[in-house]
Amino acid sequence: MSPGRTGWILSFRGKTVIGIALIEIILLAILVWSSLSYLGDSSARSVAERAVGTAAQFAALAKDAVLSEDLASLETFADEVMLNEHMAYLRIVGYGNLLVQRGGPEVLLRPFEADSEQVRPTDGVFDASAPIREGEIDFGRIELGISTTGQEQLFAEARAHLLSIATIEVVLVALFSILLGTYLTRALDGLRGAAHAIIEGGPGHTVPVRGRDEIADTARAFNTMSERLRRSYTELEASRRRAEAAAEAAEAASVEATRANAAKSRFLAHMSHELRTPLNAILGTLDLAEDWTLPAEQHAQLGLARDAGRALLELINNVLDLSKIESGGMDLHPERADLGALVRAAASMVLPLAQSKDLTLEVELDPRLPHTVSVDPVRLRQVLINLAGNAVKFTDAGRVTLRVKTQCPGEPCQRVRFEVIDSGIGIPPERQARLFDEFTQVNDPLGRDRRGGTGLGLAISQRIVNLMGGSIHVDSEPGRGSCFWFELTLIPAERIVPPEPVRSAPSCRPSDQDARAALPILLVDDNQVNRMVAEATLKKAGYQVRIATNGLEALEAVCGEPVGSVLMDVSMPVMDGIEASRRIRALGGYPGRVPIIAMTAHALKEEEDRCMSAGMDDFITKPFVRANLLAVLARWHGQDTQSRRPR
């Protein structure tokens, strides 16, 4: 036995010994008990039969002497009978009188009561009687008692003998079971030792096989299992090493891919900045030229130049979007949005192009649509503008319909279907499968089309819709138009519990706007052309403008005469816009609260986050759209730009 968690645990050999011994003890107990019961019953029955037979025999022998009342003969008869060592007493009764009695006084004094043949006497004497009868008349009886002491002694000796034999048998069985258990467990001990050896040193250990019994079969099975485990472990170890080598190679490749992706992102960011900087000057100048008094032909030429510049800007934006999507850097920012207003705003962006082609642009909104939903409005608007713009681009006559309808009105989460339907040229089936690949257009296998475009809009739109949990599909036949559609699960905004607003200390107070409205705007930019374009745009809108060419000059200007707000470039010599913003925010009083608006050619979200972390209040990318710039200034500078514009 060995101690366990809940007490002593028997070994297999101990269980075998105890089990066999218990079985033997139970069987022997049953056998001894039945044997002793049989011997006791047989002995009692023998005494009873002898006593009854003896009484009947004595009654026949004493009949004549009793009839003649020959007491001398009766006494002689009684004395002879009592010579039997088993006789305890004898009484001869005749004519109702005791004639003769022999026996010990303690036996003769007790009242006579014949014992039953079925019950063993408890007083050591079996009492029996027999009538002395002549014809049908009983005129006397014989009463006698036979001692059972001898029988009891024989029975006790037999019981002791049986118990001795049973005890010896139990001991012998225990010894044999110990030997048997030792024999049986010897092979099991070998198996256990081999199992522990496998635990300590791994598979491959075997045990000797003896005989052809079940234990030998178990040993053979164990050896087979151990050998197979050894081979499996060897193969697993080899696989593990290969996997580790592959993981190391994959990690190295991942590091290299991350490095290459970071290099690509830096390259794209740098190229975007370098392209946006001259584009800002070009598009800004062309926007200013819209108000010039020029001949119609020159206005048309300026419009062509502006459209070409915007197409180039769109290409840059698409390349950046695609890069962010591929690197997993594009995140959605859901917020409460007016779904109808969002769809109409997207249509309004495409309306001028549709009007220039004499196309009808329709917006159909399901009246059961929720008024406001939780969605990323910027990305959803981008998708709708891309799809509607493509529809207008590839439709020469007819109409383009932007349709939005709900699939399950009134539900907590509504499935909303967006459709852009046109009556354009249609798309062949073989082209539809690759329609959402990068740099793929509808009807030019080389990726070029007389209608223009980069072939990125649909690919980017598909990726954005995938991020939103949907997928863009197309139903089209050549010459019969196309229907681009996708479905999104949108939650009505009224079912969303708005989070508690996280209030941070604002850099400026609304009550300061009246004071800032009369103050100049500090324009900070190291590029002379960008400064000229921005300054002209601001002055044309009625603002006063002060100039700084780097962050250090901006810091000095803010610490000098008050300014209403700061338009801050980011990449500048001497001190960049990030450091300048941090130092301005560290100032006390009004200068430390002046609104700072980033105006940079860096268009990545990381750059916007960096600007916000430095304490800036808003973010505008170059080339800026004049209306957007003036709207941001109206919000932060606190000035009604419409009333200040020259008439």
| Segment 110-150, tens digit of pLDDT | 777 777 666 667 777 888 888 888 777 878 888 888 887 77
Tell me, yes or no, whether 424 lies in a domain.
Answer: yes
Instruction: Name the pTM for this structure.
Output: 0.47
Residue 519 shares a structural domain with residue 460:
no
The rounded distance, in Å, linking the Cα atoms of 40 and 307 is 128
Q: Which pLDDT tens digit goes with each residue over 494-539?
A: 655 555 444 343 444 444 555 566 789 999 999 888 888 888 888 8
- Give the DSSP H or E segment for 208: none
Residue found by looking up tokens 């079971």 in the block? 177
Residue 75 shares a structural domain with residue 153:
yes
More confident residue, 535 or 222: 535
CA dihedral angle for residue 437, residue 438, residue 441, residue 444, rounded to 10 degrees: -100
The per-residue b/e assignment along 92-114, b for 16 or more CB within 10 angstroms, e otherwise, is bbbeeeebbebbeeebbeeeeee
Looking at residue 283, its pLDDT comes to 65
Residue 532 shares a structural domain with residue 434:
no
DSSP structural state of residue 173: H
CB 520 within 8 A of CB 542: no
More confident residue, 94 or 364: 364
The rounded distance, in Å, linking the Cα atoms of 249 and 410 is 53
Residue 236 CB neighbours (<10 A): 12
- Starting from the edge strand earliest in sequence, which strands make up the sheet with 97-103, in order? 97-103, 87-94, 137-147, 125-134
Q: What CA–CA distances, in Å, run from 344 to 19, 245, 384? A: 90, 56, 10
Tell me, yes or no, whether 92 lies in a domain.
Answer: yes
Of 84, 89, 87, give the one whose Cα is nearest residue 111. Answer: 89
Residue 482 shares a structural domain with residue 540:
no
Residue 468 shares a structural domain with residue 602:
no
pLDDT band at 552 (very low <50, low <70, confident <90, very high): very high
What is the residue range of 85's domain?
Answer: 12-169
pLDDT band at 362 (very low <50, low <70, confident <90, very high): very high
CB 315 within 8 A of CB 603: no
What the block records as the tokens of 256 is 């290299």
pLDDT band at 232 (very low <50, low <70, confident <90, very high): confident
Tell me, yes or no, whether 316 lies in a domain.
Answer: no
Tell me, yes or no, whether 391 lies in a domain.
Answer: yes
The rounded distance, in Å, linking the Cα atoms of 254 and 262 is 12
SS3 at position 136:
coil
- Total residues found in the chain within this entry: 647
Phi-psi region of 447 (alpha: psi -120 to 50; beta: other; left: phi over 0): left
Residue 481 shares a structural domain with residue 379:
yes
Residue 543 shares a structural domain with residue 464:
no
- Give the chain's domain count: 3
pLDDT band at 641 (very low <50, low <70, confident <90, very high): very low
Q: Which pLDDT tens digit goes with each residue over 554-565?
A: 999 999 888 989
Looking at residue 515, its pLDDT comes to 58
Residue 20 shares a structural domain with residue 164:
yes
Mean pLDDT of the chain: 78
Share of the chain above pLDDT 90, in %: 15
Give the strand pairing for 565-568 and 473-476: unpaired
CATH number for the domain including 47? Answer: 3.30.450.20
Tell me, yes or no, whether 539 lies in a domain.
Answer: yes
Looking at residue 623, its pLDDT comes to 80
CB 518 within 8 A of CB 564: yes
Q: Check whether 447 has a pLDDT greater than 90.
A: no
Phi-psi region of 134 (alpha: psi -120 to 50; beta: other; left: phi over 0): beta
More confident residue, 232 or 315: 232
Looking at residue 52, its pLDDT comes to 82
Share of the chain above pLDDT 70, in %: 76
More confident residue, 411 or 228: 228
CB 77 within 8 A of CB 141: no
More confident residue, 332 or 293: 332
CATH number for the domain including 424? Answer: 3.30.565.10
pLDDT band at 647 (very low <50, low <70, confident <90, very high): very low
- Give the DSSP H or E segment for 500: none
Residue 387 shares a structural domain with residue 433:
yes
Q: Which pLDDT tens digit goes with each residue over 159-176?
A: 888 888 888 888 888 788
Of the three residues 145, 169, 193, the one that is the final residue of a domain is 169
Of 49, 73, 52, 53, give the one whose Cα is nearest residue 62. Answer: 73
Q: Which pLDDT tens digit goes with each residue over 343-359?
A: 998 898 888 888 888 99
List strand residue ranges (DSSP E) for 561-647, in order: 565-568, 596-600, 618-621
CB 135 within 8 A of CB 123: no
Give the strand pairing for 521-524 and 545-548: parallel
Of the three residues 169, 195, 219, the one that is the final residue of a domain is 169
Helix axes 214-289, 528-540, angle to 10 degrees: 60
Q: What CA–CA distances, in Å, run from 457 to 89, 138, 333, 594? A: 134, 139, 20, 39
Tell me, yes or no, whether 258 lies in a domain.
Answer: no
Residue 525 shares a structural domain with residue 486:
no
Q: Which pLDDT tens digit goes with each residue over 568-586?
A: 999 899 999 999 999 999 9
More confident residue, 269 or 143: 143
Residue 481 shares a structural domain with residue 585:
no
Tell me, yes or no, whether 619 lies in a domain.
Answer: yes
The rounded distance, in Å, linking the Cα atoms of 581 and 604 is 19
CB 479 within 8 A of CB 425: yes
The rounded distance, in Å, linking the Cα atoms of 72 and 629 is 161
91-95, 399-403, 518-522, 622-626: lowest mean pLDDT where? 622-626
Residue 413 shares a structural domain with residue 544:
no
Looking at residue 70, its pLDDT comes to 80
Residue found by looking up tokens 């290459």 in the block? 260
Looking at residue 644, its pLDDT comes to 39
Tell me, yes or no, whether 446 lies in a domain.
Answer: no
Looking at residue 3, its pLDDT comes to 54
